[in-house]
Amino acid sequence: MQNLYNDEQAKKFTTDLDLRVYTSNLLGQSDELVLHGGGNTSVKTIIDGEDILLVKGSGWDLVSIKAEGFAPVKMSTLLEMAKLESLSDTDMVSGQKAAMIDKSAPNPSVEAILHALIPYKFVDHTHADAVVTISNSTMGIANIKEIYPNFLIVPYVMPGFILAQTIAKMTEGLDWDSIDGIILHNHGIFTFDDDAKKSYTKMIDAVTKAEKFLDENASIEFVDAKPKEFDVKSLNISEFMNINQTPLALTYASQPNLRDAVTRGVLTPEHIIRTKRIPLVLEDSNVVDSLEKFKQDYEKYFKTYATDEIMLDANPKYAVIKDFGVVSFGKTQKEADVINDIISHTMMAVLRADKLGGYQSISEKDSFDMEYWELEQNKLKK
């Protein structure tokens, strides 16, 4: 992975926040690190004599974030929150909002407490494809430990307060200088340093290690075939579609045992709010029956795990059509294109993870918890 940091350009930025914006934008320039609002960054600074965490505002894209996209939150409040035994999503959001020194700023990232806990000035968090691809495999933990012997490896837990609480307990008495970063299983990676360039460079270097591992152990060959005929209008799900018939999509859609191959879950947890857990799979021409079965299965999935939630639209967000390709659906063309971006990265990860023994995402229950998480739903409402 290319390191985009430019020393001459960086000289233009003299404040902590300026440097934070610069390296955040650099991270955001790589789709292999973050996609459409994914990832988050922060910097700790002093404002009017008080320790403040400037953390990415919820919903902002790292590639385009500006100074006003960072939420200024009192460190003392965040660190007190971290000591609590329990904290509801609503209380976390309201507490963080109340601790902001600028009430007009965006809501802080759901990972604000975790950013505060990490005792370094600059903290970078991405959902790097290469890292998550290795993590989302049957031998994920073992391979991650081999590649990153000096990283703290955290088993999957729900993002937000639960994740922050988990890491707080895992790092009690830890010499933070003894680790190079944090790997969140099935989720992503954190790097950190008191210097913006070093924190960014640690991220690039760490992801490069994962990319090299995949190049050596999980190369794939794309099929060389023409897509079969299929009338996409027969899907009748949305007028806005993205039809993907790239070699990657055709390879993905031509796998044996297609239904089992493509219904193993999301690449990173937050993707589920855009893509649902699994696609509509069409292996024959019976579109109507297949779509009805998808909706019935989704309703069963909802009833299995729901408590007091209201069921979302049961229609699929994308379809994998045997020997044809992948079709993404949206309420707008932009939404369909965003879903296609996410699925394209997922397809590559699934194919490569299978070379490592098999792709394995988070559980169905964990998937439901993310899909119906109030804080994630708020991102879509924006």
**How far is residue 130 from each of residues 147, 210, 242, 270, 370, measured CA to CA in Å?**
12, 5, 25, 17, 22
Buried b (16+ CB within 10 A) or exposed e, 163-188: bbbbbeeebeeeeeeebbbbbbbbbb
| Phi then psi dihedrals of residue 234, to 5 deg | -70, -15
Q: How far apart are CA 294 and CA 288, in angstroms?
A: 10
CB proximity list for 16: less than 8 A, separation 6 or greater: 43, 44, 45, 54, 121
Residue 122 has a pLDDT of 98
0.85 surpassed by pTM: yes
Residue 194, classified by CB atoms within 10 Å of its CB into exposed (0-12), middle (13-18) or buried (19+), is exposed
Q: Does domain 232-381 have CATH number 3.40.225.10?
A: yes
Helix locations, the chain, DSSP H: 7-10, 16-28, 75-82, 89-98, 112-117, 129-135, 140-147, 161-170, 196-217, 247-253, 258-262, 272-275, 287-305, 333-354, 364-371, 374-381
Of 23, 29, 34, give the one whose Cα is nearest residue 70.
23
Q: How far apart are CA 252 and CA 351, in angstroms?
A: 7
What is the per-residue pLDDT across 70-97, written as a single tens digit (0 to 9) for each? 999 999 999 999 999 999 888 999 999 9
Count CA atoms within 13 Å of residue 155 on its CB side: 4
User: First-to-last CA distance in the chain?
Assistant: 32
CB proximity list for 9: less than 8 A, separation 6 or greater: 22
> Tokens 């610069």 map to which residue?
22
Contact 136, 186 (CB under 8 A): yes
Can you read off the two tokens belonging to residue 287? 């579109």
Can you read off the two tokens belonging to residue 54? 């400037």
| Phi then psi dihedrals of residue 151, to 5 deg | -105, 150
Q: What is the pLDDT along the chain (382 residues), one digit of tens a residue?
A: 999 999 999 999 999 999 999 999 999 999 999 999 899 999 999 999 999 999 999 879 999 999 999 999 999 999 999 999 999 888 999 999 999 999 999 999 989 999 999 999 999 999 999 999 999 999 999 999 999 999 999 999 999 999 999 999 999 999 999 999 999 999 999 999 999 999 999 999 999 999 999 999 999 999 998 999 999 999 999 999 999 999 999 999 999 999 999 999 999 999 999 999 999 999 987 999 999 999 999 999 999 999 988 899 999 999 999 999 999 999 999 999 999 999 999 999 999 999 999 999 999 999 999 999 876 556 555 5
Count CA atoms within 13 Å of residue 360 on its CB side: 12
Please report, for the chain, the start and end positions of each structural domain, with discontinuous segments joined by +. Answer: 7-217, 232-381
CATH topology classification for 7-217: L-fuculose-1-phosphate Aldolase (3.40.225)
Q: How far apart are CA 44 and CA 55, in angstroms?
A: 8
Buried b (16+ CB within 10 A) or exposed e, 356-368: beebbbbeeebbb
